[in-house]
Amino acid sequence: MWIRKYWWKLLGAGFLMYALTYGLLCPVPALDITNETIRNLFYHVPMWFTMYALFTYSVYHSIQYLRRAVDDHDIQARTSAEIGFLFGVMGIATGSIWAKYTWGTYWEPKDPKLNGAAIALLIYLAYFVLRSAVEDETKRARLAAVYNIFAFPMQLAVTYIMPKFMLSLHPSSADTVSFKQYDLDSKLRLVFYPAVAGWVILGFWIFTLVYRYQLLKIKSENEEN
Amino acid sequence: MKRIKLLVLAMFAFLLGNAQDAVPEMSDALRQNGKIYVVVTVIAIIFTGIISYLISLERKISKLEK
């Protein structure tokens, strides 16, 4: 099973080691305002890719749960949503710091990309609250699965699709030049893609550890009863 | 003649203007004197530590599973 295999975890660690070190050393386009902070592309952006990857995995298991009510799907859906949420929080925190030194503020109150990201995290916060509010296990699993299937397209809409049609300071919105401007620099891609792959893999690695811990916990609880 | 002089002046002014354009400040000097590698090494050590910890966690969980 892929969860217990080592090779992909070490591959991801290799990608990350490369991105973390060469990301500071590689030549970058010299631009006003962004200056060296353009390197945040290798660190801030992969957080969101990792969040999307884990949320996608989560909604897949929610759909599977509704097709066949196997507890394992519920556990996987919840755990991957948790780890995805963690990466989303890190994405917001790093983005806020980047904004401070390029836009001059930690938070631009009316910016659709920023508020969309905050709304997305609140949507998933509500998912965890919903889970903790329902006592009955099967009821909780079914409700959570249905909620997750609504939550996933909603978070994609507010963080990715909606800001594309609105005015935002953030790159890849309607009025700002997308990252294509920097992407044209193939040197950035050389670090950016391995960084994304590395962080996504690390996210899934952490997920597998927490998931296996959850299984052990349930097993030991069942043995006690 | 006057036109040519003006043209030459305009070209000269263009060159002057170009020369005054400030290059965005980048930390090239930091890399030249080599000290950025200190930071890179520190990051590499921290990351190695975290990965080693994840591997040891992985082993502990595998043991428990058996």
DSSP secondary structure string for all residues of chain A: -GGG-SHHHHHHHHHHHHHHHHHHHS-----TTTGGGGGGGGTHHHHHHHHHHHHHHHHHHHHHHHHS--HHHHHHHHHHHHHHHHHHHHHHHHHHHHHHHHTS-S--TT-HHHHHHHHHHHHHHHHHHHHHH--SHHHHHHHHHHHHHHHHHHHHIIIIIGGGGS--SSTTSSSS--THHHHTSHHHHHHHHHHHHHHHHHHHHHHHHHHHHHHHHHHHHHHH-
**Contact at CB, B36 and A25, closer than 8 angstroms:** yes
pLDDT for res B11: 56
Domain coordinates of chain B in residue numbers? 31-66
Asked if residue A156 belongs to a domain, the reply is yes
The minimum CA-CA distance between A216 and chain B, rounded to whole Å, is: 7
Sign, Cα dihedral of B12, B13, B16, B18: negative
> Residue A204 to residues A87, A160, A174, A191: CA-CA distances in angstroms?
11, 22, 32, 20
Q: Which residues of B touch A209 (CB under 8 A)?
A: 54, 57-58, 61
pLDDT for res A34: 82
Asked if residue A187 belongs to a domain, the reply is yes
Asked if residue A25 belongs to a domain, the reply is no
pLDDT for res A77: 97
Q: What is the pLDDT of residues A140-165, one digit of tens each?
A: 999 999 999 999 999 999 999 888 88
Token pair belonging to B66: 């058996």
Asked if residue A23 belongs to a domain, the reply is no
Q: Does B44 or A55 have the greater pLDDT score?
A: A55
Mean pLDDT across the stretch A198-222? 95
Are A112 and A168 within 8 A, CB to CB?
yes
Report chain B's mean pLDDT, rounded to a whole number: 74
Q: How far apart are CA B57 and CA B50, in angstroms?
A: 11
Band of pLDDT at residue A35, cut at 50, 70 and 90: confident
Domain holding A64, by residue range, is 2-18+39-224
Residue A177 in this model has a pLDDT that exceeds 70? no
Residue B4 in this model has a pLDDT that exceeds 90? no
Mean pLDDT across the stretch A174-196? 73
The minimum CA-CA distance between B26 and chain A, rounded to whole Å, is: 6
**Coil, strand, or helix at residue B5?**
helix
Mean pLDDT across the stretch A129-143? 95
Q: Does A200 or A101 have the greater pLDDT score?
A: A200
Asked if residue A27 belongs to a domain, the reply is no
Residue A99: how many other CB atoms lie within 10 Å? 18
Band of pLDDT at residue A87, cut at 50, 70 and 90: very high
B62 → chain A, closest CA residue: A4
Q: Which residues of A touch B61 (CB under 8 A)?
A: 209, 212-213, 216
**Contact at CB, A36 and B65, closer than 8 angstroms:** no
Nearest to A39 by CA among A201, A170, A168, A190: A190
Indicate the burial class of A196 (C-beta count within 10 angstroms; 0-12, 13-18, 19 or more): buried
Residue B40's identity, in one-letter code, is V
Nearest to A143 by CA among A126, A122, A120, A119: A126
ipTM above 0.85, yes or no: no
Residue B21 in this model has a pLDDT that exceeds 80? no
Nearest to A25 by CA among B47, B36, B41, B26: B36
**Contact at CB, B40 and A16, closer than 8 angstroms:** no
Q: Which residues of A touch B43 (CB under 8 A)?
A: 20-21, 24
Q: With both helix axes pointing from N to C terminus, report the angle between A186-224 and A71-102 in degrees, rounded to the nearest 10.
A: 140
Band of pLDDT at residue A206, cut at 50, 70 and 90: very high
Residue B18 in this model has a pLDDT that exceeds 60? no
The minimum CA-CA distance between A49 and chain B, rounded to whole Å, is: 20
pLDDT for res B42: 83
The minimum CA-CA distance between A34 and chain B, rounded to whole Å, is: 9
Are A84 and A58 within 8 A, CB to CB?
yes
Residue A43 in this model has a pLDDT that exceeds 90? yes
Mean pLDDT across the stretch A176-199? 77
Give the total number of structural domains in chain A.
1
DSSP B27: -
Residue A132 in this model has a pLDDT that exceeds 60? yes
Q: Does B42 or A96 have the greater pLDDT score?
A: A96
Band of pLDDT at residue A178, cut at 50, 70 and 90: low
Which of A22-26, A73-77, A202-206, A211-215 has the lowest average pLDDT?
A22-26
pLDDT for res A214: 94
Residue B16 in this model has a pLDDT that exceeds 60? no
